Amino acid sequence: MSKTETLADTQPDKGGPAQPLLIVRNLQKYFPVRGGIFGGKKAVVQAVDGVSFEVKKGETLGIVGESGCGKSTTARLLIGLLDKDKGEIIYDGQDLGGTLSLRELRRGVQMVFQDSYASLNPRLTIEASIAFGARIQGLSDPVGRARKLMERVGLAPDRFAQRYPHEVSGGQRQRINIARALAMSPRLVVLDEAVSALDKSVEAQVLNLLADLRREFGLTYIFISHDLNVVRYISDRILVMYLGEVVEIAPVDDIWTSQAHPYTRSLFSAMPSMDPDNRTKEPPLAGDPPNPINPPSGCRFHTRCRFSEDVCKAKVPLLHPLTAGSDHLAACHLHDISSGHSKAGKDVFE
Ligand code: SF4
């Protein structure tokens, strides 16, 4: 199957190659909750608060962080499954809610979820599931497109087209979900813990498939996972979230060898290692993440950070490059010599 056959209806590139495919600025999403025993007091969970980043054409941006840090909410905002409270989502130079409609966004941006079974309609055959979105969007030959994509993701159409989701394995269902996403000829695919529920051997096969499809179809990925090794394997850059905010973003090799934010440092140090010479010297991260209904003042990580000082409680650290022009950014007063932190500019991790 050639690229032109499958992606014949891909949306044209509206900007030049240098223009990021996706720009997210100050994205915010709060969820109202009822507080108190009688549920009378109103409160909000600050799920995503001021998140900004860009995704370049053809790259894979990995997003990591503890459970509840806002990764999946960010993903759902990006594809319009949730309405943002504030901020901008600019896809290929067009602003969602301005010149870009939700329908156009969903043509260009597709998502693969963790739960491969819940993502599929149990009453639709595999062929019908893959063809469904393309048919709704009015794309040409949805069934032919579905069969070609089944072939491409390793599911022979003659064997699988008329089966139902409960008749195949978890790995095969996730291949169906990938084919279903690609049937819309997207340019950006958001993969939210898409391989986390798979066995390790199947996970490796699906990761290799994703890498091949990215190259073949010129796709751009946002890859969300709690597994740092998996994120390292597939990503070009890694973005770290903590309690609804971005705390660090850097090229994968940079962040792998040198984490700038104390939270990122703790996250990487908690990774199990088979190498006795590579055991962590970093103390484990203390306590649970704070309540997102009432997050800490200043730096949200200050309640768990061993470098916390008064300035950390008083002042929100902004995301900025570690050195002028660097593409390694961190939001920590340690990296801002004008912050007033006593250890700012020093190598505190040595
Ligand atoms: Fe720790 Fe302060 Fe940096 Fe926050 S700003 S991570 S509390 S040193």
The crossing angle, in degrees rounded to 10, of helices 170-182 and 142-152 is 130
Residue 339 Cα: closest atom of ligand 1: 5
Q: Does domain 18-119+186-349 have CATH number 3.40.50.300?
A: yes
Ligand 1 in reach of 113 Cβ (< 6 A): no
Mutate to test the pocket of ligand 1, among 302, 343, 348 (most ligand atoms within 8 A of CB): 302
pLDDT given for residue 278 in this prediction = 65
Q: What is the pLDDT along the chain (350 residues), one digit of tens a residue?
A: 444 444 556 666 776 777 899 999 999 999 998 765 555 667 899 999 999 999 999 999 999 999 889 999 999 999 999 999 999 999 999 999 888 999 899 889 999 998 888 999 999 999 999 999 999 888 899 999 999 999 999 999 999 999 999 999 999 999 999 999 999 999 999 999 999 888 888 999 999 999 999 999 999 999 999 899 999 999 999 999 999 999 999 999 999 999 999 999 999 988 776 666 666 667 778 777 898 898 999 999 999 999 999 999 999 999 999 999 999 999 999 999 999 999 999 988 87
Q: Are strands 94-95 and 86-91 parallel, antiparallel or unpaired?
A: antiparallel
Q: Give me the residue label for tokens 């798979």.
A: 198
Indicate whether residue 247 lines ligand 1 (CB < 6 A). no
- Decide: helix, strand or coil at residue 46: strand
- Is there an atom of ligand 1 within 6 Å of 308 CB? yes
**Distance of alpha carbon 173 from alpha carbon 233, whole angstroms:** 22
Tokens of 147: 């069969």
CA atoms within 13 A on the CB side of 8: 13
Atom of ligand 1 nearest to the CA of 312: 2
pLDDT at 40: 62
331 within ligand 1 shell (Cβ under 6 A): no
DSSP codes joined into one string, 18-76: TS-SEEEEEEEEEEEEEESTTS-EEEEEEEEEEEEEEE-TT-EEEEE-STTSSHHHHHH
Q: What are phi and psi of 106, to 5 degrees?
A: -75, -20
- What's the pLDDT at 287? 77
User: Other C-beta atoms within 10 Å of 328: how many?
Assistant: 18
Alpha carbon 184 to its chain centroid, in Å, reads 20
Sequence ranges of the domains in the chain = 18-119+186-349
Can you tell me the distance from the alpha carbon of 3 to that of 146, in angstroms, rounded to the nearest whole number? 14
Q: Check pocket membership of 242 for ligand 1, CB cut-off 6 A.
A: no
Nearest atom in ligand 1 to the alpha carbon of residue 300 is: 4
